[in-house]
Structure 1
Amino acid sequence: MTILTSAPVAPLLDQLFAEAEAASPLASPAFASLSREERRGLMSSKTAYRDLYDQLKEFALPVSRETGKLLYLLARAGNARSIVEFGTSFGLSTLHLAAALRENGGGRLITCEFEPSKLARARENLAAGGLSDLVEFREGDALTTLASDLPETVDLLLLDGAKSLYLDVLTLVESRLRPGAVIIADNTDYCPDYLERVGSAANGYWSMSFTDDVELSIRVA
């Protein structure tokens, strides 16, 4: 048995994933009325993302169950002790990462979210899972909240916030990524500039598309 597969975390995750699956963002009239091209434009924009995510603040927008397990496995396999997460939402991915930290013997997980109501929900969920002592919640724009007071080294970086900011957030954290650090980015089809950076070994990364939605990269230099 692991923390991830036992109470209180396992039933909490089942509940949260079920709630997320029952409440699709397409239920939002403002979002459902957009064409595919309009949605892509908003998701890729470096200026309109605040309005978009404000319209979606009632929705969890979590990683998939499979990606959650991947996060846990990578953090455990790499014996991660220092993790940075961009995009907390309701904290489902945070629960997976914090569970891995606990089983690794402890550590620090910095997670950031600019929507206060979502961060409040995430705090409640991490407390319910008994993992909040491992998590530092930072409220506000990640370009500000991650600009200072980062760990000396970062073992794992999760990018799952505003897609257009992936490269900017990577740039903020990049100097702290240790050789062998893992970067997981969700929905990278909206951020070609990010894929160009991690797709080149000349930039110090090895990268592959793990699924259609997830890019998995390793910092090699």
Structure 2
Amino acid sequence: MTPTNTLTDPRVEAALRRMFADAARDDATVARIMAGRPGDRGWQTPQEHADAVAEVYMPISAAGGQLLYNLVRAIRPATVVEFGMSFGISTLYLAAAVRDNGTGRVVTTELSEAKIAAARRTFSGTGLEDVVTVLAGDARDTLGGLGVPADFVLLDGWKDLCLPVLRVLEPHLKPGTLVVADDVDLPALGPYLEYVRTPANGYQSVTFPVEDGMEISCRL
């Protein structure tokens, strides 16, 4: 009998191939956005930031996606929580793993309405929409009412918000829950890394060397 792997579904393969190709143009897109931005004040709110970069993918790597798929397949979580869906590349890897486990769901968050609309079209086109719930808005608000344990967590939204989002989720984390944060090389993730690497805060943490690095932290 052939093992089930939704990542090899032609619809999923085509969607990932298309989105990674689009994401490869991110640098040029960001340069165009920044060139048209007056001054150097920075964006005042996460929503303003999300709206400004609504065309930018900011994806995980393909290798990072494979790692997420493997972890979710191995753990078989009932609820996967993702902070920072963007166009849904990482969500597809998570949803494919949930589908192949035959149980569970993905709850993902995103501020950009444009990205939410595009991602929902992708989930529908790949047949994965029934295992994905998209929460629109600031994750610090939407995830506060999660109501169920978060059995696996991916933090890949704005890096300066990863720690606040984790603190919102902590009441929903059981011992043994894995929390994965992407892009450990980015300075803005520093406060988060300091927190999960401090034993008194209740995590055992290790950096996995894939692309820009993923921090994998087990809730103790």
Q: TM-score, normalised by structure 1?
A: 0.87
State the one-letter code of the partner of 1:158. L
Aligned residues: 211
Match of 1:129 among 123, 126, 139: 126
Hey, what's the Cα distance between the residues in 1 that align with 2:218 and 2:75? 11
Query: What's the secondary structure of 2:91's corresponding residue?
Result: helix
Hey, what's the Cα distance between the residues in 2 that align with 1:20 and 1:216? 24
Match of 2:81 among 57, 81, 84: 84
2:6, 2:12 within 8 Å by CA — same for their partners in 1?
A: yes
**1:150/1:62 CA distance change after superposition, 3 Å:** farther
Hey, what's the Cα distance between the residues in 1 that align with 2:131 and 2:45? 32
Within-5 A mapping of 1:24-103: 24=27, 27-31=30-34, 47-103=44-100
Query: What's the secondary structure of 1:146's corresponding residue?
Result: helix
Quote how far apart the aligned CAs of 1:50 are: 3.6
Where does residue 179 of structure 1 map in the other structure? 175
Stretches of structure 1 lacking an aligned partner (at least 5 in a row): none
Q: TM-score, normalised by structure 2?
A: 0.87
Hey, what's the Cα distance between the residues in 1 that align with 2:215 and 2:32? 30
Hey, what's the Cα distance between the residues in 1 that align with 2:61 and 2:36? 24
Quote how far apart the aligned CAs of 1:82 are: 0.8
Where does residue 215 of structure 1 map in the other structure? 215
1:23, 1:59 within 8 Å by CA — same for their partners in 2?
A: yes
State the one-letter code of the partner of 2:172. R
Hey, what's the Cα distance between the residues in 2 that align with 1:109 and 1:94? 8
Q: CA RMSD in A?
A: 2.1
2:202, 2:219 within 8 Å by CA — same for their partners in 1?
A: yes
Quote how far apart the aligned CAs of 1:18 are: 1.3
Q: Please identify, of 19-28 and 197-206, the stretch whose mean Cα deviation from structure 2 is larger.
A: 19-28
Quote how far apart the aligned CAs of 1:15 are: 1.5
Match of 2:145 among 143, 148, 162: 148
Quote how far apart the aligned CAs of 1:24 are: 2.8
1:25, 1:59 within 8 Å by CA — same for their partners in 2?
A: no
Hey, what's the Cα distance between the residues in 1 that align with 2:84 and 2:12? 20
Does 1:106 pair with 2:109?
A: no
Hey, what's the Cα distance between the residues in 2 that align with 1:91 and 1:150? 23
State the one-letter code of the partner of 2:102. G
State the one-letter code of the partner of 1:69. Q
Q: Please identify, of 186-195 and 131-140, the stretch whose mean Cα deviation from structure 2 is larger.
A: 186-195
State the one-letter code of the partner of 1:21. A
2:30, 2:56 within 8 Å by CA — same for their partners in 1?
A: no
Quote how far apart the aligned CAs of 1:203 are: 1.3
Stretches of structure 2 lacking an aligned partner (at least 5 in a row): none
State the one-letter code of the partner of 1:99. A
Q: Please identify, of 47-56 and 2-11, the stretch whose mean Cα deviation from structure 2 is larger.
A: 47-56
